[in-house]
Structure 1
């Protein structure tokens, strides 16, 4: 007689796709950032633009994973990250647009001495 078979399982099998996506984003970010990491002369934001694309895609990927996660804490983390990004955008918007700022307003947005 044939051995008894187990009932079919409808549980989703773990997919390697999220790990491959994360690895792709991490490697591309590193490949675009590492050439500029040890540069001692003054560098500008356009030097980071290649890495920024992959950094922002990684943040979006993580937020998407968190927003659709069954754990409430991770969903709250995703919402918090998106809220903080929106706040940072509004905070630094005057610099992006070249709007006039007081000396105090400019110094408030200059977090590091190396920021020219």
Structure 2
């Protein structure tokens, strides 16, 4: 999924977003795989005028949520990273999709 994301960003001339977008995709897809309980995982991205929208679906009705990981925990920080990098993020009303948007740098829209 990271390679697919990077390829789309090259095609859209948005390579300045590659690091942040691939990290966000990695975190959202990893969460979906861990919590999907055997359902398929989907990735959808599109470029709007001033933002890159990323959506990951997993079929699970349990919405993603921020967690407070302790220092020794090996997981639980993914959505904190997404929240730090994204302009905004959220989940669909039915909980099956987690999305975020990244601001397109000035002059790239």
Instruction: Please report the TM-score for the alignment, with normalisation by the length of structure 2.
Output: 0.28
Q: Which has the higher contact order (CA 8 A, sep 6+)?
A: 2
Considering fraction of residues, name the structure with more strand: 2
Provide the TM-score with structure 1 as the length reference: 0.27
Task: Identify, as 1 or 2, the structure richer in helix.
Answer: 1
